[in-house]
Structure 1
Amino acid sequence: MSVMGEDALVPRARSRLPVMCAAGLGFLTLAVAWLLDSDKFSERAGIIAFGLMLERFIYCICLLAEELLFHSRQRYHGRMSEIFRACFRGSGILGMCAIFLMLMLGGVSFSVEQWSHFNLMCAGYMLLNSLGVLGPAPVEISEICEAKKMNVAHGLAWSFYIGYLKFLLPALEVNVREYSRRERLSSPRLHILLPLNARVPSKPGEEDTNVVFHENLPDLKLDRAGVRKRSYTNSVYKITHNNETFSCILEYATPLLTLYQMSQESSAGFGERERKQQVLLFYRTLSQILDNSLECRNRYRLILLNDEHTGDPHYLSRELFQNLKQQDGEIFMDPTNEVHPVPEEGPVGNCNGALRATFHEEPMSDEPTLMFSRPQSLRSEPVETTDYFNPSSAMKQN
């Protein structure tokens, strides 16, 4: 009922496979066209390429008219260079001019019939593009938005990190250390819950009665955005599962509230399917951000929850139990325990499943000391070191 195979659920970033397939099919069709008519292949290929670029150039002029008439001041502050860069691609214009010059230098003359073909191609392109037939597919729009970080989930993930997790997680370690002096936590990490349906309850106990609020950690107070001593509070919860009780710091990802409320507003144009996709994209983006953050490393745990848990009132406690058990086998820096080095030499014994040295180590002095060696000559006399060497026989020979 809970999400265990996250790799099979969370979408990966799209690859360059469509571009590679299109390039491969393009070269294949060019080879077929050359085999069918190799005599006029270069001329016809140049004319068709010129016609395609001309279609795009005329459509960019239509874009230029919109930007010049209505958006030149508000969007570009009257700068013509920025308007041209927004409407035209320099490579496209240069390519069109280069192909036209090559055709002219090659002695190709455009007949009336060819210009008529150009007119029909441009007219067809404009009409089909205005009707949306040649527009980008939904997959292309999604790829552009993900590549340019233009999705709602991207902005929410970065806001959640910059405005909350980046400064909270390092400071949370101090609060956990102080709290662990009187009561031990099952995990010192902050557990962030991300339900796929984006429904975030005000209390986890509303979803599962085995998750009970215990107490709050000491408040973190910071001056933020003009507010003096703004308070940030984290809560400790007790989780009961199979007659075992665990405690951890727990909270939901608050940006998911925004996604859910957007899906309830008709003006947002945000349906249930789009909401789920944005939740998964939010999870993937936040994971990538936190994985690359040195301040947050080993101080958090993202838990993705399935929204198909009807009939199981204790799905949340079971998911938390599995995550806490999994962390028992992981190696991470526990701020409440000191790490002692294991000696490399000497007899080693096994104590409670851990390798420990059985001999006493001398404590190292904190005071610096100077160690001197006897002065030796740079030239040393040869010394006989063989086992059968006899000094008395050596004297007789001399």
Structure 2
Amino acid sequence: MATVMREDDLVPRKRSRLPVVCAFVLGVIALGFSFLLDCDRFTERVGLIAFCIMLEKSLFSMCLFAEEWIFHLKQRYRGQIMRTVEACFNRHLLILMFFIPVLLMRGDVSLSSEQLSTISLTCAVYMFSKSLLDLGPAPVEISEICEVRKMNVAHGLAWSFYTGYLRFVLPDLGGKVRTSTMMNLSSHRLHILLPLNAAAPNKPEDEDDHVVFHENLPELKLNRAGVRQRSYKNSVYKITGQNNETYYCVLEYATPLQTLYQMSQDRNAGFGERERKDQVLLFYRTLSQILENDTECRNHFRLVLINDEHTGESHYLSREIIQHLNQQQGEINMNPVQENLAHSLPEEFPDFHGAAAEDQMSSVPTLMFSVPGPLRSEPVETTDDYGQ
């Protein structure tokens, strides 16, 4: 599991549809108020205003099309005009723009010179505002678009970290631990350290002298991207607590964070400290979702999110790792089928564990339903307690 202490305080949640709901409710209120003020020409005015909005949007899309068609048709769209049109125009907007005038004409609504002047003036004001005042999307909207369409730097780095490294190393981790001479590990998971400031040192000892290298696990060698027998290996570290208790676990820093840190140090990247922290949190959330959805990796990792507010603390790293190790001792890992069924069963079905099991052995006959097993075999998962 990837649950981290203080996760709710650090990791941002996915954005909801609350702005859309609020906008819809406010629109209904505004429509009702307008209808009460002038109900005779309500339909005509709604159609006229809607047509103005869609016309001004379409006119600005034509300006975008001019740029793309004249300068970028070959390089960006391979000379295909339809691809250029689809990139510049919203098809739903075009359909509505031609559909509304038809309704107005069928309703015998004739546009006066004053109404035509209003349409023209509205379009002119919108064009000037768009070109001079930059009426673009708000930073929140841009951030939401990037997150929904997976366009952030963190999304690419998380998927690269998974596809190029973790999906090979994590399923093989149990076998390497079995063949290792170090069998008294406190946890058999790979602990991936993610500092919020993205500063990933080459040696954890440089951050905390209570975290000391112990040994390397056996190497995993694969042919990757033209490199024969590329080597992948993990390191076991000895962690010493405040009371001189010792722990052993496999840990390493997330190497993509070095990319984020170096980008924040380069002016050409346009990547400041604030953006770097946001991307680290998004990297954590994305990587956690990817690994949790992979049944072969789910129970073989632990993401350790490290807050960078540790000025003056010399043993903050060992303290965080020990907290995660102690937290894992009380966890029970379930396979995907059992976990999904446990969440899907209603509250009327009793719990068949612990004290509830005694109630099931009473003299009153009850119906007990067994959990159906899959017809096809599921991937076998190992847990931290397999050695027991």
Instruction: Report the 3-state secondary structure (helix = DSSP H, G, I; strand = E; otherwise coil) of the residue aligned with 1:174.
Output: helix
Give the corresponding residue for 2:13: 12
How far apart in 2 are the matches of 1:282 and 1:116?
52
> How far does residue 279 in structure 1 lie from its aligned partner after superposition?
0.3
How far apart in 2 are the matches of 1:251 and 1:172?
13
How far apart in 2 are the matches of 1:218 and 1:185?
15
How far apart in 1 are the matches of 2:333 and 2:114?
75
Paired residues of 2:177 and 2:183 also in contact (CA < 8 A): no
How far apart in 1 are the matches of 2:161 and 2:144?
23
Considering only CA atoms, is the larger Rg found in Structure 1 or Structure 2?
A: 1
Identity of counterpart residues, as a percentage?
65
Give the corresponding residue for 2:159: 158
- Which range moves more in the overlay, 129-138 or 221-230? 129-138
> How far does residue 186 in structure 1 lie from its aligned partner after superposition?
1.1
How far apart in 2 are the matches of 1:147 and 1:131?
29
Write the deviation string for residues 14-41 of structure 1: whole angstroms up to 9, x where unpaired. 0110011101101110000000000011
Q: Write the mapping of 1:1-398 to structure 2, written as runs, cut at 5 A.
A: 4-179=5-180, 183-241=183-241, 242-332=243-333
How far apart in 2 are the matches of 1:92 and 1:44?
19
Paired residues of 2:204 and 2:211 also in contact (CA < 8 A): yes
Structure 1: runs of 5 or more not aligned? 334-398
> How far does residue 4 in structure 1 lie from its aligned partner after superposition?
2.6
Instruction: Report the 3-state secondary structure (helix = DSSP H, G, I; strand = E; otherwise coil) of the residue aligned with 2:193.
Output: strand
Instruction: Report the 3-state secondary structure (helix = DSSP H, G, I; strand = E; otherwise coil) of the residue aligned with 1:248.
Output: strand
Instruction: Report the 3-state secondary structure (helix = DSSP H, G, I; strand = E; otherwise coil) of the residue aligned with 2:298.
Output: coil
**In the alignment, residue 163 of structure 2 is paired with which amino acid?**
I
Give the corresponding residue for 2:344: none
Give the corresponding residue for 1:395: none
How far apart in 2 are the matches of 1:124 and 1:268?
36
Structure 2: runs of 5 or more not aligned? 335-388
Instruction: Report the 3-state secondary structure (helix = DSSP H, G, I; strand = E; otherwise coil) of the residue aligned with 2:236.
Output: strand
Give the corresponding residue for 1:389: none
How far apart in 2 are the matches of 1:153 and 1:332?
28
**In the alignment, residue 268 of structure 1 is paired with which amino acid?**
A
- Which range moves more in the overlay, 21-30 or 323-332? 323-332
How far apart in 1 are the matches of 2:258 and 2:218?
25
Q: Give structure 1 regions of 4+ aligned residues with deviation exceeding 6 angstroms.
A: none
How far apart in 2 are the matches of 1:63 and 1:191?
48
**In the alignment, residue 166 of structure 1 is paired with which amino acid?**
R
Write the deviation string for residues 312-371 of structure 1: whole angstroms up to 9, x where unpaired. 1001111111111111112349xxxxxxxxxxxxxxxxxxxxxxxxxxxxxxxxxxxxxx
How far apart in 2 are the matches of 1:212 and 1:57?
63
Instruction: Report the 3-state secondary structure (helix = DSSP H, G, I; strand = E; otherwise coil) of the residue aligned with 2:222.
Output: strand
The alignment's C-alpha RMSD in Å is: 1.2
How far apart in 2 are the matches of 1:228 and 1:168?
17
How far apart in 2 are the matches of 1:281 and 1:39?
52
How far apart in 1 are the matches of 2:323 and 2:83?
55
> How far does residue 133 in structure 1 lie from its aligned partner after superposition?
3.9
Instruction: Report the 3-state secondary structure (helix = DSSP H, G, I; strand = E; otherwise coil) of the residue aligned with 2:29.
Output: helix
Instruction: Report the 3-state secondary structure (helix = DSSP H, G, I; strand = E; otherwise coil) of the residue aligned with 1:215.
Output: strand
**In the alignment, residue 200 of structure 1 is paired with which amino acid?**
A
> How far does residue 132 in structure 1 lie from its aligned partner after superposition?
4.1
Instruction: Report the 3-state secondary structure (helix = DSSP H, G, I; strand = E; otherwise coil) of the residue aligned with 1:298.
Output: helix
> How far does residue 98 in structure 1 lie from its aligned partner after superposition?
1.0
How far apart in 2 are the matches of 1:283 and 1:114?
54
How far apart in 2 are the matches of 1:120 and 1:264?
48
> How far does residue 296 in structure 1 lie from its aligned partner after superposition?
0.2
How far apart in 2 are the matches of 1:274 and 1:317?
27
TM-score w.r.t. the length of structure 2 is 0.83
How far apart in 2 are the matches of 1:131 and 1:323?
53
Equivalent residue pairs, number: 330
**In the alignment, residue 323 of structure 1 is paired with which amino acid?**
H
How far apart in 2 are the matches of 1:4 and 1:31?
48
> How far does residue 213 in structure 1 lie from its aligned partner after superposition?
0.4
Write the deviation string for residues 101-129 of structure 1: whole angstroms up to 9, x where unpaired. 11112111112221111111111111111
- Which range moves more in the overlay, 69-78 or 230-239? 69-78
**In the alignment, residue 29 of structure 2 is paired with which amino acid?**
L
Write the deviation string for residues 207-250 of structure 1: whole angstroms up to 9, x where unpaired. 10000001111111110010000111211100000210010001
Instruction: Report the 3-state secondary structure (helix = DSSP H, G, I; strand = E; otherwise coil) of the residue aligned with 2:127.
Output: helix
**In the alignment, residue 216 of structure 1 is paired with which amino acid?**
N
Instruction: Report the 3-state secondary structure (helix = DSSP H, G, I; strand = E; otherwise coil) of the residue aligned with 2:197.
Output: coil
How far apart in 1 are the matches of 2:132 and 2:245?
63
**In the alignment, residue 128 of structure 1 is paired with which amino acid?**
S
How far apart in 2 are the matches of 1:231 and 1:210?
28
**In the alignment, residue 58 of structure 1 is paired with which amino acid?**
L
